[in-house]
Amino acid sequence: MSVTPTPTPTPTDPATAANQVVQQFLSLDLATLDNYANPTFPAYYDNTVDAIDNTPGNDPVNDAIATLGRVLFYDPALSFNDTTSCSTCHQQSIGFDDDEQLSTGLNGGQTTQHAMRLGNIRYYEPGEMFWNRRADDVEDQALQPILDETEMGWVNNGGIAALTTKMEGLAYYPALFEFVYGDPAITEDRMERALAQFQRAMVSTDSRWDQAYSQVFGPGAPNRALNLALPGFTVSENRGRELFMTGQNNGGAGCLACHVPPTFALNANSRSNGLDAGEGTVFKSPSLKNVGRSTFFMHDGRFTSLRQVVDHYSDGVQIGPALDNRLRQGNAPQQLALSETDREALVDFMLTLTDETLENDPKFSDPFLP
């Protein structure tokens, strides 16, 4: 007696159809997407934080689009010679920073600036990106490293058109773009949106500072309870917190005027920090979250320790047309002249901003199969 075999059903669900292709290359299940769009934030991530969020009002973070962004972020095939990805210079284990002073590109060439940390990138209200603010927003910055001659190499090798042709030949990209956008077209706009959404989802809310601050925060508390000693902090960490959160006129260092808690992202009206005399470029900086994981600091990576950073703000600020007014004392640069103990206390405090959860969250990890 012969038995007619049961035919294999043709997948009709978009996730099932895409998974048949995607899971040959990636450890993703498109039927069960990671939560990028609606994470649970602490109570102090309230309307005051929403007000500085640079996410476009008509394009909020979407789980599927951010998942595509994760693939793009980690894929070395997006470089001309398959050697370099966004994650090469923005490594999750060190706060999406680079462990080199000047990042190395696809042919061993070095960039002219140190890579920026990416945590809390969404909370810089003006939205401008890169140290020199040359990109209008996170979307505008997304493909610039991919095109760059030194970094990922496409500018002199056919540009975006050549890149998309290459991606069309990688089976997982037509499947992913079909799943995410409804058709397989790979476009510049779609890549920018996906990379931007993945990066905006990199929000840091679980450092030791966050864990302690959540115990004292109250929306009606004076100064949102930022001046209160934090439970579980050492004497030095709490002294550093006091210096950071207290204005110079009240005996502190006034750091929060530019690096605004709870995101520790840069204040919208901040200018440059006086690294060099006569500086005319208005630089920005990344959030201080996970700054303790960095080994190089400032746009050119000139400092190699947090202590050197603190020493700069204490005694090393130099005057120039781009210098922030908060770092001036009349027509001269500020001179905080911090004591040895206070300098170490500020370092100790900044180390409490390390967020191991962000550094180890699987949804921000490399999705490619070995």
DSSP track, 99-144: SSSS-B-TTS-B-SSPPPP-TTGGG-TT--BSTT--BSSHHHHHTH
Helix axes 188-200, 63-74, angle to 10 degrees: 100
pLDDT of residue 298: 97
Distance from C-alpha of 146 to C-alpha of 154, rounded to nearest angstrom: 6
In this prediction the pTM is 0.94
340 C-beta neighbours (distance < 10 Å), count: 7
3-class DSSP state for residue 26? strand
Q: Are 123 and 84 in contact (CB under 8 A)?
A: no
pLDDT of residue 330: 87
pLDDT digits (tens, 9 = 90+) for 22-58: 999 999 999 999 999 999 999 999 999 999 999 999 9
pLDDT of residue 12: 62
pLDDT digits (tens, 9 = 90+) for 105-155: 988 888 999 999 999 999 999 999 999 999 999 999 999 999 999 999 999
pLDDT of residue 344: 98
User: How far is CA 110 from each of CA 96, 118, 283, rounded to the nearest angstrom?
Assistant: 18, 20, 20
Mean pLDDT, all residues of the chain: 95
Instruction: Mean pLDDT check: name the lowest of 2-6, 167-171, 220-224.
Output: 2-6
Amino acid at 66: A
User: How far is CA 199 from each of CA 68, 206, 259, rounded to the nearest angstrom?
Assistant: 11, 17, 20
Task: Give the domains, in start order, of the chain with CATH numbers.
Answer: 14-203 (1.10.760.10), 208-356 (1.10.760.10)
Angle at CA 15, nearest 5°, toward 13 and 18?
Answer: 110
% of the chain at pLDDT higher than 70: 97
